[in-house]
Amino acid sequence: MSTADYIETLSRCGGTFRELLRRERWQQMQTWREVYAASLHVETGAWKHGALDWHVFSFGYARSLHGSKAQHAYALEPPGPLLVIPENEALPAVRLEAERLPDFSLLRQDLYVSPADFAWTMAFTHELPGGNGPYFSRREWMD
């Protein structure tokens, strides 16, 4: 996937987006981990299982829905202010004011979409379509 494909997908959501500064990107992703990877951290001392953040879902460290159930739950969330953070640091992380939720299913990249309070998250994976993911989880499920 090219940066242009990613930007085009963001643009199709309507609204506007602005790139997060490097430090803000790191802080937001760390907050995501503190919510969704807390049990992994307690068990192993690490914030990631392997190289990818979404492995907390695929290896069962955090409760989630996956596949079509995840897509359905995600579709029920309202669009609005969202954080979009790609695992690949060559792609910009953004704060998106969306009219529609972004769908990264066909981009074959690992991306995390959440509202600023991390009440829920959608993890799109590079294994889509037809592979492992996507994963949808809620902050309240982490208790």
Question: Domain tally for the chain?
Answer: 1
Split the chain (143 residues) into runs of 10 and give each run's mean pLDDT: 87 93 97 97 94 95 96 95 96 95 92 97 88 92 89
pLDDT at position 94: 97
Q: What share of the chain is helix, strand, coil (3-state, %, to 5)?
A: 35, 20, 45
Beta carbons within 10 angstroms of residue 51's beta carbon: 8
What is the domain extent for residue 26? 3-142
Q: Which residue, 104, 99, 94, 102, is CA-closest to 79?
A: 99
pLDDT at position 1: 56
Measured CA to CA, the distance from residue 89 to residue 22 in angstroms comes to 9
pLDDT at position 133: 85
The residue type of 122 is M
pLDDT at position 85: 98
Q: pTM for the whole thing?
A: 0.95
Q: Which residue, 59, 66, 71, 67, is CA-closest to 103?
A: 71
pLDDT at position 101: 96
